[in-house]
Amino acid sequence: MERQSSPRLLQAAMIVFAIGLAAIAALFVTPLVTDGGTAPTFVYLLTMCAPLGFVLGLVFALRSGRRVR
């Protein structure tokens, strides 16, 4: 029985990665907007979505790859 990986994992990876990138951008923009203030804690936590999305993308790529014999 051949198992086919769903594109939902790829979609989830892209969404999580995009959230992480947006949080990283917010870290750089926040001090400019708030006259040197720091971003809220949840923005720092959301930055961890970028590597998580990257790992999910790698998992999708490894699961969707076909073994050649």
- Distance in angstroms (rounded) separating the CA atoms of residues 41 and 18: 18
Quick check: 8 pLDDT over 70?
Answer: yes
**pLDDT one-digit tens code per residue, 41-56:** 999 999 999 999 999 9
**What is this structure's pTM?**
0.81
Contact in structure between 42 and 36 (CB atoms under 8 Å): no
- Per-domain residue ranges of the chain: 7-63
Distance of CA 10 to the CA centre of its chain: 11
Dihedral angle, C-alpha 14, 15, 17, 18, nearest 10 °: 110
Structure tokens at 51: 């590597």
**Which amino acid is residue 16, in one-letter code?**
V
